[in-house]
Structure 1
Amino acid sequence: MFLRLTTALTTLAVAAPAIADEVNIYSYRQPELIAPLTDAFTAETGIKVNVAYLQKGMIERLEAEGKRSPADVVLTVDISRLAAVVNAGLTQAVESETLKANVPAAYRDPENQWWGLTTRARIVYASKDRVAEGDVTTYEDLADPKWQGRICTRSGTHAYNVALTSAILEHHGAEYTKTWLEGVKSNLARKPQGNDRAQVKAIWSGECDISIGNTYYMGKMLSDEEQKEWANSVNVIFPTFENAGTHVNISGVAMTKSAPNKENALKLMEFLTSPKAQEIYAEANFEYPIAPGTEAVELVKSWGDFTADEVNIMNLAGHRAEALKLVEEVDFDG
């Protein structure tokens, strides 16, 4: 039976010992993305994959289950979420030359607690009709009064925006970041709301001229008949930090501290970082693969080239609490 409910996995943990030909995942990633990967892994190895798709509360669940947890690996997006699981003491270091060969050092934990799978850039969607080429080039520029009443974004407390604010902190410090947040807030066309795609819809409808979003949403919108019109109304802009690169974040994987199927978990992690799986990721979710020798799909490459910011991505996780505090201090969502 293909397990998709957390309750089912909990029952597995209590009622039965680890089964040699299975591996269990707790995932914040969507079923439509994970299924092609797990199907390919099972076809290649014969190992059955059970997935519990969680909306929230992964750390709390793992802590409550303790050593009886059935989870072997966790999958999530955003460096702060990965770091939170590690900092809670719920993962274990994994030594693997295959993983090291597949995952560049910039996208893995120095202590081998988590491993990156794909990247995405946090970019600007700009109206083709109302924003000229070159009007926005940096993240710092988003606080410029010229954008007053022209920016849309999702909640400032969402993990994606907190990561961007963390990057501003890394580059400029707390005082500048607070002023920047106040500037961006004053430029908003409406109260932060919805997801990244909702912001592009707002540009299409004329509510705002630019928005902040992740690159892969362009691919998702172009794949949807209703949303294709929204996507075609905007250009993809890759802003940079002043004297630095474009902000990127990651999806990643980690082995749980009490993994009952440790050997199979390692096989799964090595598969997920392999060029074959990276290509599945790239095609299914329009993300940038990180394994050496892999490339984004043609649609993604058509949006343009960019140079990723070279800041240590773990530094961003370390700034999360301060970034969130500053977002709340300026009442960004108010």
Structure 2
Amino acid sequence: MTFRLSLAALALGTVAMPALADEINIYSHRQPELIQPIIDAFTAETGITVNIAFVDKGMSERLVAEGDRSPADLVLTVDIARLTQVVDAGVTQPVESEVLAANIPAELRDEANHWFGVTTRARIVYASKDRVAEGEVTTYEDLADPKWKDRICIRSGTNDYNVALTAAVIAHHGEEAAKTWLEGVKANLARKPDGGDRDQVKAIAAGECDIAVGNTYYIGQMMADPEQRPAAEAVNIVFPTFTDAGTHVNVSGVALTKAAPNKDNAIKFMEWLTGDAAQKIYAETNYEFPVKAGVEKSELVASWGEFTADTKPLTEVAKLRPAALKLIEEVNFDG
């Protein structure tokens, strides 16, 4: 069975695929090209073929509908909210692995071993090098300060990354304070929320706003693109913190499906993702932070400086996602 045929069968989702000795099937929230270097290295080392189907929306619903017939062995997701959604849907199974336990800090994996973080990323501030002084913004709470009126750009408030950040605000300050914070940030926007994180960097470079909220790794991706590099070079990366706490981080993660027709190989891949080779590839090609201690950041990521991650458990933050989304809609953040 070729890669193309396997991927087509996964995308159609209409037939159950047989379990093959040297194959793994993955449903991914991440675009396949973002993790292709990791997949290529794993296949080269093990001989196991990895087939990926990009599933942007409705992954949990799809897995529930497929049930035991699902061809998917693993799900790869881009944040804690989507990880917990899949687990809460009852379509995953726990993995008892000494390798995973040794490689991944306890706060970055599920207590019941249903999900495991494989990288982290910080939700930070992009700041104009020309118009924002060092130390002018230091906390997430600062973003609601009227001094930033007409100076902030951000993508949709209902985007998963911003919902997670709002949930973290609730975790630290409660719903009432989080609503006030959202109203303050909205009042400071230079334009209606629009585009992705890279678009916010471009808006700063174009003079449309002075600061923006985004994930760290987008700057790395822009620096690697000759057309986008000038915009990326126009901003500094600032690691804001919550008052008396740390910088908000999220994870990309993996979970083993309940159906998993290639379970043993799938677990091999999970363990390999957290090993030195894969963690270094993640760091060098995706500009993310390794979860395994001792693996160096990429030179570019290291140049951004050190920060202290918020210690609020991600599972606690994820549980507050519905409340965060409700508040975002109540203040009509995108309106």
TM-score for the superposition, normalised by structure 2: 0.97
SS in 2 for 1:332: coil
Aligned partners of 2:143 and 2:213: how far apart in 1? 10
CA distance in 2, matches of 1:239, 1:188: 18
Question: Structure 1 residues 6, 322: closer, same or farther in 2, change over 3 A?
Answer: farther
TM-aligned CA deviation for residue 21 of structure 1: 1.3
Kindly state the Cα deviation for residue 244 of structure 1 after the two structures are TM-superposed. 0.3
Instruction: State, as a whole percentage, how many aligned pairs show the same letter.
Output: 66
Evaluate the alpha carbon distance shift between residue 57 and residue 174 of structure 1 in structure 2; reply closer, same or farther with a 3 A threshold: same
Q: Distance in 1 between matches of 2:259 and 2:94?
A: 12
Equivalence for 2:42: 41
**1:262 aligned to 2:263?**
yes
Answer yes or no: is the 8 Å Cα contact 2:7–2:51 preserved in 1. Answer: no
2:210 aligned partner = 209
How many residues align? The count is 334
User: Which aligned pairs between 1:1-334 and structure 2 lie closer than 5 A?
Assistant: 1-3=2-4, 7-9=8-10, 14=15, 16-334=17-335
CA distance in 2, matches of 1:239, 1:165: 14
- Per mean C-alpha deviation after superposition, the further-off stretch among 41-50 and 280-289 is 41-50
Corresponding letter in the other structure for 2:134:
E
- The answer to whether the 8 Å contact 1:162/1:324 transfers is yes
Mind listing any 5+ residue stretches in structure 2 that lack a counterpart? Answer: none
**Is the deviation greater in 113-122 or in 54-63?**
54-63
Alignment deviations for residues 242-289 of structure 1 (CA, whole Å, 9 cap, x no partner) = 000000000000000110111111101000111110111111110000
C-alpha contact (below 8 Å) 2:17/2:71 kept by paired residues: no
Distance 1:15 1:240, change over 3 A: closer
Q: Deviations over 1:8-62 (max 9, x none)?
A: 1277883653111111111111222221111111111111111112222211211
- Specify the SS of the correspondent of 1:249: strand
Q: Is the Cα contact below 8 Å between 2:9 and 2:15 reproduced in 1?
A: no
- CA distance 1:289–1:16, change in 2 (3 Å): closer
Aligned partner of residue 15 in structure 2, secondary structure:
helix
Shifted more, 53-62 versus 5-14: the winner is 5-14
Q: Is the 8 A contact 1:13 1:70 kept in 2?
A: no
**Rounded Cα–Cα distance in structure 2 between residues aligned with 1:317 and 1:6:** 31
Q: Provide the C-alpha distance between the structure 1 equivalents of 2:248 and 2:324, rounded to a whole number of angstroms.
A: 15
User: Structure 1 pair 4/139, CA: closer, same or farther in 2 (3 Å)?
Assistant: farther
1:121–1:247 Cα contact (<8 Å) kept: yes
Distance in 2 between the 1:96 and 1:134 partners? Answer: 44
Contact 1:26–1:74 (CA<8 Å) still a contact in 2? yes
1:90 deviates by: 0.9
Aligned AA for 2:278?
A
Contact 2:26/2:50 (8 A) holds in 1: yes
Calculate the aligned-residue CA RMSD, in Å. Answer: 1.4
How big is each residue's C-alpha offset from its partner over 1:114-165, in whole Å with a ceiling of 9 and x where there is no partner? 0000000000001111111110000001000000000000000000000000
Q: Does structure 2 retain, via aligned residues, the 8 Å contact 1:109–1:115?
A: yes
DSSP-derived class of the 2:124 partner: strand
- Relative distance call for 1:141 and 1:12 in structure 2 (3 A) is closer
Greater Cα offset, 75-84 or 13-22: 13-22
- CA deviation profile, 1:138-195 (whole Å, cap 9, x unmatched): 0001000000000000000000000000100000000100000000000000000000
